[in-house]
Structure formats: structure tokens, C-alpha cells
A and B are shown apart, each in its own frame.
Chain A
Amino acid sequence: MNSILNLSLLRKLVQIGAFVFFVYGGLVTGYYLEDKISRSLPALSCAYDHQGADLCTLIPIQHQMDHRLGEAIANGGNLMMGIMPTLITLGTFLLLFVVLNKAFCGWICPLGSFQEILQIIGQKLGLRRHESLSENLVERIRPVKWFILLLLVFAFPLLTGMGMLNHDLGDPFCRICPSRILTTLATGDSSQIYLDTANTTTIVTSLLADFLFGLMIALALTVRQPFCRICPMLAMHAVFRKIGLLRLVKNATPRCDRCGLCAKACPMDIREIHTDMESRNVTFEDCTLCGRCVEFCPDQDVLQLKYTRFPVFSSSPHYFKQRKKQQSQWQKRTLIGWFRKRSAIPGTESS
């Protein structure tokens, strides 16, 4: 391994490129929805950002549940016609998803990248950060993303289309989604931060959206990927993760028992990477295929990122040693440390 380049750095560069492309790339691809690349991206690149290059798959799904399937059910229309747009959206989603699998989260998603940047800021500010969340807490949080997916992305919009809920619940996840606020703000548009007093539903949803956005920013300074843990896109990915061509594979050894460095490195606190002792595809439901566990596994080829059957990145003692050294140097460099050092050197105070 080059003394500077490592998988994490490579990933950061890809994330920055993806952020710029998906938040501002509409200047190249075009302004209208028809100009966007797939309109079914497996990451939270937001439709409310008019300058974006693409939009996430959750917005068409909510609209199709509301205006197509829900209305078809309510009016006794053709159900096949009602479900067809959703099948096309899912088909497009899958075409993309198969190529990168859950790496859409770990490498592409603007909201995922933003949380990682906040994490770096927290670390550089010298804030005390949570190394890992407790097993108990992680277990309790995990089902939330499934509830959000089922209720806010599918059920509420469907019931709205069927006329059973008020019209403001036709796209409930978009109404609370932090990516809507983040990506529009990134383009200089503050119109998505608001308290909407039109009715009780809009008051509750706008309140939740703003609160969640502030909460996520503060938490991300000390906790790794706070919103990702409840993100319905992560749940969507989890459903189809076995068909993705990129995957995390483990060739367990008895030494794994006494180690556990992989689980510590995981930003999503997936302890099963460590405890799973079978040799198989270990792309767990919360995995974002960021590859940190592979980087921090000290054993040869025990963890691998594979594209179909071909290893693209494997753990090795040599890489581990260098990576660990880089990591401890990186963590030592904080603003507080820098100030302390400056004030400790005589003659530098007034310069």
C-alpha cells in the first residue's frame, strides 16, 4: 500500500465526486426530470434539488403508490396498470443496484457522505466520540428502517391514494427526509427549511423534518452515520442485497474469535461480521460496503470485497499494519491538539 493512499481515502474521493455530480450535475445532464439519469437511483440524491443529476427511487415509489396504485384500487381500476409504473421503477432500481449493491450507500449517497464529513469535523474539533453503539441499542434501532420503509414509503401513500388519509400524506418520507434539506441547501436554496402551518399534518411533518435534520447534524459529530441506521433506502437495499455483484465475503478462521477489530471498524456497528464463523457472503442488512472492516482485518484474505467471484480488495497483515498507523496519526491531528502544540512552543503565541 502506498503510504498515503488507502481504501478509505479512495472512497472519500469517490464520495466527493459523487456528491458534486449528484447535487450539481443537473447543470450538465439538464434541468428537467426527463433529463435526469435514471430517476430511480438507489441513494438519497434528492428530487427537490433541481440542479441534481438524478433522483432517488423513493420519490417515484411514493407517488406511484398514491396516484397510481392507490387510485386504481379506490376507483376499481385496472390493478395491473396501477402497479406497472412501480414495477418499472423497481426494475430500473435493480438494474443499477445489481452493479454496485449496497456500495450505493457507502460510496455514492450524498447524505451518507455528508454524515461522514460531519464525523471528520467532530473528530478534528476534538469532540469525544462514541466508538461503537451498544449491542442492545443497535438491536433496538435496526427495525426502525423497516417500519419507515413500509409505513412512510408504501403504506401511507397507498392509503392516501385510496382516499383514506389526507393528501399531505401522499409523500410522507420525502416530507421528513434530511436529504431534501441538505441537497437544496447545498445549492443555496433554503426554501425546504420551513414550518408549514397549512394543517396539523403539515405542522407535524415539517416539524419532524427540521428537528430530524438538526438532530442528525449534531449526532453525526459524535456518532457514526446516525441517519443511515434508520434510512428506508438501507432497508430497500437489504431486500435485494443477495443479487448485487459486489459483496463482502468472509473466510472465517478460529482466530476471528479473539479479534473483533472488523466490528470495531464498522461504522454501522455490525457485530455479526466478527461473530459469524461461517465462510460466506456476509453483506449484512446494515452493511454499506464501505470496506472498513476489510481494511482493519489483520488476517490474510479473511475478509474480502468480491465482484462476483473475483476479489477486488482483501485483508492482509501488511495493509493492516500501515492502515492502523495512518489511522492513529490521523486521529491524533485535531484542532485542539494543534492549538495546544502552538501554545506550547515558545515564541509562537503572538505570531
Chain B
Amino acid sequence: MYRRLLAVVISASFLPLTGISFAADGESLPAEAAHNHRGGEKRIILENGEDAVITLWKPDLTTEPLTLEHGGVTLPKTGMDNYHVILAEKDWGDHKEVVIRYEYRHGPPSKQSPSRLTAQQKTEFEIVPAPIPREHYRYHSQQRWGFVVRFEGQPVGGLEVELQTSNGSHLSVTSDAEGRVEFLIPDDFPGVVKGERDRRLGQFSVSSEYHQGDRRYTTQLSADYRVSPSHWQSTRLGLLIVGFGFIAGSVIGRVKKGGDGK
């Protein structure tokens, strides 16, 4: 039986704007024939999720309600691959809070581009990855990624947007006229050893707040990120080896005078 894969617990202080939050990969219940959770069920921890309306958006834009059980939700097999969205909404009347997470799921081909899911309005106030890492790719530290803040499907400029990581970093920028912000994901995993591969996983959240009349909206996009491979992949040494290859090729490919050259 498959065990809990990751138990990254995120402290409450990590999420100042909202009460509910995702707590990374919970545990995975795999399909019998797979090493990983390919196409199998997957459990995601949702902190303070009581009374939240939780919805699973599939790549073909169909939805399915999810129920909170023992502090988390179990993503069912949906029979299609590619990104899915888990959306949790809590409405307090004068305040609506939303947390959202994009999860790649394995399965039979959905034949749906993730651009459909990102373009779709899923709730009033949302932060959308622009773009989301391509299928089979992930967020890594030291990478620059963009996000768009939208209210009722329209981009919102001039909003303060914050990025916080489970390793304690905190960045803040203001959205431009197209509602776009960009963050360089901090290289903040402690104790990274140069030259050694590091498979640790952290979480970041991108959050913002919007007011319309007396109503307040808070939204938070959460995602995993990993240690930048640049800690164990050296471009400088790589270039040096390309140079050696070039020299070797020049020697091997040299045509001597009087040879078969033209």
C-alpha cells in the first residue's frame, strides 16, 4: 500500500490573507500498476477547509464537487490527463476567500490544452498562471514566472500581489495594466549542497486582495516548487566540454593537403 509521499506542513503564518490553504501533496493512493500516482487517486490536505465549497475542474472544463474528509480532499481518477484545478471557496457575506491549485494528473489523453483551463473564469477573483509550466515541467527556484490577476474574467491592474514560500521568502509587486505580475522564484531552500542533486519540494503561494463595494475578495494560488538544477548542473563546465568536442572534431575532420579535399 502506498504511503504518504510528502508531508510538507505549512504554518498558518505562511498564509496571511486567507484562512483556508492547501498543504502540498498530501498522500497518494496509486493505481495498482504504477510506481507513482499515475492516474490513481491523490489526496490533498486543505487546512481550515470546513464549510468551503470545493470544486474540481477537469481539462475539458467539466466540474465535479469534492468533499472535505479528515482535513483533505481526494482527487478521484478522472479518466483524463493534464492539468486539473482544485478550487476551494468560502463565502462570509462581506468577504469571499478562494484558494486554487493546478494539479497535473495522469490518465488517458484528454486532448485538451491547459490554456483552456487557465482562460476559463472559475471564480470571481483569481490569480492565473501565465503560463503554467508546460506538461511534465515544474516550477523551480531561480526561474521567472508570470501570473495574471483577474476579476470576473477581466485583468486588474495596480493591485499588490504577494509571493510567499514555505521556506520563508516574501516578495511583493504591483500588477501592470494587463493584470500581470512576474516573480523570480526565490532560491531559498536551506542547506543546498553545491554539486549534489536536491529533490526537496517547497510550496509557494501568490495572493492578492480586491474590494468591490463593501465586499472583500481574497485569492491565493498555491503550487509546489523545487530546487533549481543549477546547483548541480554547471553551464560553464558544459561549455568547456563543447569546446573539447569542437577541438576533437577539428582534428578528426581535418583534411590533409593532397587528401580528398575540395
Contacts and interface: CB of A to CB of B under 8 A. Distances in A.
B229 to A, nearest CB: 8
A32 B134 contact: yes
A197 B233 CA distance: 6
A198 B196 contact: yes
Interface in A71-116: 71-72, 75-78
A221 B250 CA distance: 9
Contacts of B112: 34
Interface string B87-121: 00000000000000000000000111111000000
Interface stretch (A139-147, A211-219, A317-325): A211-219
Contacts of B134: 31-33, 50
B239 interface: yes
Interface in B214-261: 229, 232-235, 237-239, 241-250, 252-255, 257, 259-261
Contacts, number: 142
A190 B242 CA distance: 12
A2 interface: no
The listed residue with most A CB atoms (<10 A of its CB), out of B33, B111, B235, B255, is B33
B135 interface: yes
A197 B232 contact: yes
Contact of A218 (B38, B115, B247): B247
A215 B246 contact: yes
B145 to A, nearest CB: 13
Interface residues of A, number: 47
Given A33-B135, A222-B254, A215 B115 contact: no
Nearest to A214: B245
B237 A199 contact: no
B113 A193 contact: no
A130 interface: yes
Contacts of A131: 260-262
Contacts of B166: none
17 contacts: A32-B115, A32-B134, A32-B135, A72-B33, A77-B32, A128-B259, A190-B235, A194-B238, A195-B233, A198-B232, A199-B197, A206-B238, A210-B241, A211-B241, A216-B245, A217-B246, A217-B249
Interface in A175-218: 190-191, 193-199, 202, 206-207, 210-218
A210 B234 contact: no
Contacts of B249: 214-219, 226
A290 interface: no
A243 B239 CA distance: 42
Contact of B113 (A35, A50, A217, A219): A35
Contacts of A31: 115, 131, 134
A67 B246 CA distance: 35
Interface residues of B, number: 46
Interface string A20-41: 0000000000111111000000
A214 B255 contact: no
B33 A71 contact: yes
Contacts of A193: 235, 238-239, 242
B175 interface: no
Interface of A: 30-35, 50, 67, 71-72, 75-78, 127-132, 190-191, 193-199, 202, 206-207, 210-219, 221-223, 226, 331
A77 B32 CA distance: 8
Contacts of A190: 235
B207 interface: no
A194 B34 contact: no
Interface in B182-199: 195-197
Contact of B262 (A32, A129, A198, A206): A129
A199 B235 CA distance: 16
Given A131-B261, A331-B262, A34 B238 contact: no
A32 B262 CA distance: 46
Given A50-B134, A130-B261, A223-B253, A214 B248 contact: yes
Given A33-B136, A77-B33, A129-B261, A195 B115 contact: no
Contacts of B3: none
B82 interface: yes
Contacts of A222: 253-255, 261
Contact of B235 (A71, A191, A223): A191
B200 interface: no
Given A129-B262, A197-B196, 13 more contacts: A35-B113, A35-B115, A71-B35, A130-B259, A193-B238, A210-B238, A211-B242, A212-B245, A213-B242, A214-B245, A218-B245, A222-B253, A223-B253
The listed residue with most A CB atoms (<10 A of its CB), out of B113, B197, B242, B261, is B242
A206 B33 contact: no
B260 A214 contact: no
B195 A214 contact: no
Interface in B132-186: 134-136
Contacts of A194: 229, 233-235, 237-238
Contacts of B82: 34
Nearest to A29: B113
Contacts of B260: 130-132
